[in-house]
Amino acid sequence: MSSHHEIPSYLTPSEIGPWGVYLEQIDRVTPYLGSLARWVETLKRPKRILIVDVPIERDDGTIAHFEGYRVQHNTSRGPGKGGVRFHQDVTLSEVMALSAWMTVKNAAVNVPYGGAKGGIRVDPKTLSQGELQRMTRRYTSEINIIIGPNKDIPAPDVNTNEQIMAWMMDTYSMNQGSTASGVVTGKPISLGGSLGRHEATGRGVFVVGCEAAAKLGLAIVGARVAVQGFGNVGGVAARLFAEAGAKVVAVQDHAASIVCETGLDVPALQAHVKQHGSVAGFKGAEVIADGARFWEVECDILVPAALEQQITEANANKIRAKLILEGANGPTTPAADDILHDRGVLVVPDVIANAGGVTVSYFEWVQDFSSFFWTEEEINLRLTRIMREAFAAVWQLAQDKKVSLRTAAFIVACTRVLQAREMRGLYP
């Protein structure tokens, strides 16, 4: 990544990783920020970083230690907000970038939050349920000092789910002495979760995908869709596209890549993944032995819905899709962005495409505060409206300024964040 960026002393140049991608994106938007550019350095430094040791007693009596993080990138527009990720490759650079993308995302769809993110470097598949619970509770206790319904509100992300949110809510509440349902979102419905939250990110990808396809004159009925990642984002998006008449022709996950020319049976694939933990071994498809070839699959719509830095200089030229919907955070590097732009491939950036999750998290948080719960229809309607409006505004700005949708989304978002920053003023 570009070496001209100032690297914080707590990251070595080799660790710059996703944070370097984010810094490059900020450099690209800066010329469009007018006088607010005076404040842009704010966006290049996370407000607060907490690194915690998370020790647990393993089932066999040994003690294991994991490294945990919570980064609050910005709180100019409201409390920190963003998920918690459990993954063996979690690094500080990654959590920093993910927290910053939350700041941009929350501002892009105009929910009243700053940006934050957390994570633990662990492969949760290596833990028993008991170990997973102890690790989650110890991590929550360690970050207890900086989270809270009005301070910073965690949520699910890669390898975390409503059970983990329930444990986090309980741990925070026990430490506090009273039940605080608004401290995390993505909770089970029975504990103050919101209807529609589980599906919200995938649904948002689908809604924005339909809007973008319409701009391209691409019909959803019969469209060929390829999806990387078949979890809570990719799986739901695939199902909604299939229900709308599209053909899901290829899926790649952490274990395998599969294709089916006539279109995969998505509900059957979801059932398979639920049982076996991955798409590997699914009967109704052929295997793509070389995973790198997934990117060359003939398709109209490509949905990267797994991890960062998947679409790079190495594969951007081979992608056949006309439309890319970033279900994941940070799946495309800036160099790949340029290649796709030159080739006329439309990229709907993460900060718009996957903002449905945090949007319904916002609804959940509002419902928890008022202890009054909405119907699923109402949630989905409000979600759809916010996603469509955010897409339309960003599309229009991209046309006016002749910039990519990513730069347009960053202009909208960074302007909102820095206006708030400027109006609040520097303390003291």
CB–CB of 142/52 below 8 Å? yes
Give the pair of three-digit tokens for residue 249: 């022709």
Specify the long-range contacts of residues 91-94, CB closer than 8 Å, at least 24 apart.
91/15, 91/17, 91/121, 92/10, 92/11, 92/15, 92/49, 92/51, 93/11, 93/15, 93/16, 93/17, 93/18, 93/19, 93/20, 94/17, 94/18, 94/19, 94/119, 94/308
357 is an interface residue for ligand GLU by CB under 6 A: yes
379 contacts: CB under 8 Å, gap ≥ 6: 194, 195, 196, 197, 200, 360, 363
Q: Which of 158, 250, 238 is nearest to 206 (CA)?
A: 238
Q: Which residues are catalytic?
A: 117
Asked whether position 358 contacts ligand GLU by CB under 6 A, the answer is: yes
The one among 131, 152, 157, 308 contacting ligand GLU by CB under 6 A: 157
- Which of residues 282 and 365 has its CB atom nearest to ligand GLU in the complex? 365
Query: Given the structure tokens 């959590």, which residue do they identify?
Result: 95
Number of residues engaging ligand GLU in binding (CB under 6 A): 11
238 and 227 Cβ atoms separated by less than 8 Å: yes
Are the beta carbons of 315 and 377 closer than 8 angstroms?
Answer: no
CB closer to ligand GLU out of 258 and 311: 311
For residues 179-198, which are near ligand GLU according to CB under 6 A? Answer: 185
Which residues on adjacent β-strands are paired with residue 34?
A: none
The CB-of-195 to ligand GLU minimum distance in angstroms stands at 15
In the shown chain, the binding pattern of residues 295 to 334 toward ligand GLU, with x for contact by CB under 6 A and - for none, equals: ----------------------------------x-----
Closest residue to ligand GLU: CB criterion: 83
Of 29 and 147, CB closest to ligand GLU: 147
Per-residue x/- track, 59-98, ligand GLU (CB under 6 A): ----------------------xxx---------------
Q: How many CA atoms lie within 13 A of 354 on its CB side?
A: 28
- Which of 20, 82 has the CB closer to ligand GLU? 82
Footprint on residues 108-137 left by ligand GLU (CB under 6 A):
none
CB of 15 to ligand GLU, least distance (A): 21
Quick one: 78 or 357, whose CB is closer to ligand GLU?
A: 357
Binding site for ligand GLU (CB under 6 A): 81-83, 155, 157, 185, 329, 354, 357-358, 361
